[in-house]
Structure formats: structure tokens, C-alpha cells
Structure 1
Amino acid sequence: MKNSDLAPVYREIADEIGFENTVKIYNQFKGQQVSFPQRLYAAEYVIRYIKENKGNMSVKELAKKFGYTERRIRQFMNGEVRCEDRKE
């Protein structure tokens, strides 16, 4: 079997991550509708990373890295947003 033998959505996935991994995803989630959040990283990690790298990266760089606005990054830095308050 090869990627071109798969249904279009699975073919696209296989082109990105390989045939074997696509089959694993299929076996795990077949029949379900899966949506992927825009944010890859947990808020706890983002806040911790920002605090640890505050002096090493600019607000603009942090915003770009994590997909947040510069304003939101500043709020994280200033402790204005706690993980449990977050609804994003």
C-alpha cells in the first residue's frame, strides 16, 4: 500500500507524517470527528516559559512563538492572567 491508495484526508495526513503513523491515527480515532485547538502548548507551560525567558526574548518574539498577542504576553508576564482564569 502507498499514500495514493488512501482516501483524500488520510492521503494528506500520510504525506505529512507517513503511512504507518496515519494508520495508527486511523486505528485510534476512526469514526470520530477530531478538531485540533489552535494552541499546541498548555497555558501552564506558556506562562512558565515566558517567566523563564523574560529577559532573553522580546514580547514580540514570545507572541509569535506561541500565537498570542503582545498584550496577552504582557498580561502573562505581569501575572494578570492565571491558568485557571484562562478560557482560550
Structure 2
Amino acid sequence: MKEVYINMNPNEIESEYLNGVYNEIANTLGIEAAITIYSTYRGQQITFPVNFFTTEFISSRIVAEYDGKNIRQLATKYGYSEKWIRKMIKEHKDKAG
């Protein structure tokens, strides 16, 4: 079934006309983004992970930035515990040799 917005000019659509989360998306990202998200994902349940980056990426950054004594700073910077940072460094050292 076609939706009414398909034939509407996005400039004529106000965010308060939109239902639920589409209103929030339009207020945050704009009407065009809300339309794109609606068109792509309508009817689906979407869960956004708490962490933006993969564990592999964060581990590689930690190993690259580790200077032998900055575990606390890395933990604060990346939002992980010092114990987890130490574990990532140890795993890297174990793999390296």
C-alpha cells in the first residue's frame, strides 16, 4: 500500500505530523532522513548496540595507544574497565609472540 508522503513535497511535512519514533528521527536528523529510514525499515524492530565500534577496532586502538603506563587513561577514554584494557593488551602480546 502506498503511503501519502510519497507524493508529498518533504518541505510540506512537519515533524509533529509524524508518528512515534519517526517524529524523533525527523527532529534529530531531518524529514528526509526520517522518510529514508521509514522507507527502508518500516515495520521492523531495530536494536542499536550500546557500543558504536567493534571490539576488534577498540582493541587495536588500545594496543596502538598503550605506552606501558596509561591503562587508566585508556579505560576512561574508551569506556571500559582497566581489567578489560589489561586483558586486551595481554591477548595482543600473547598473539604477537
Task: Give the TM-score taking structure 2 as reference length.
Answer: 0.69
Aligned equivalents of 2:78 and 2:65: distance in 1?
13
Structure 2 residue 52 is matched with structure 1 residue 40: yes
Give how far 1:38 is off.
0.9
What is the root-mean-square deviation in Å for CA atoms of aligned residues?
2.0
Unmatched tracts of structure 2, length 5 or more: 1-12, 93-97
Give how far 1:63 is off.
2.6
Give how far 1:59 is off.
2.7
Which protein shows a greater Rg? 2
Summarize the Cα distance change of 1:29–1:73 in structure 2 as closer, same or farther, 3 Å threshold: same
Structure 2 residue 48 is matched with structure 1 residue 8: no
Aligned position for 2:31: 19
Task: Please state whether the residue corresponding to 1:79 is helix, strand or coil.
Answer: helix
Q: What number of residue pairs does the alignment pair up?
A: 79
Q: Percent identity?
A: 32
Summarize the Cα distance change of 1:60–1:2 in structure 2 as closer, same or farther, 3 Å threshold: farther
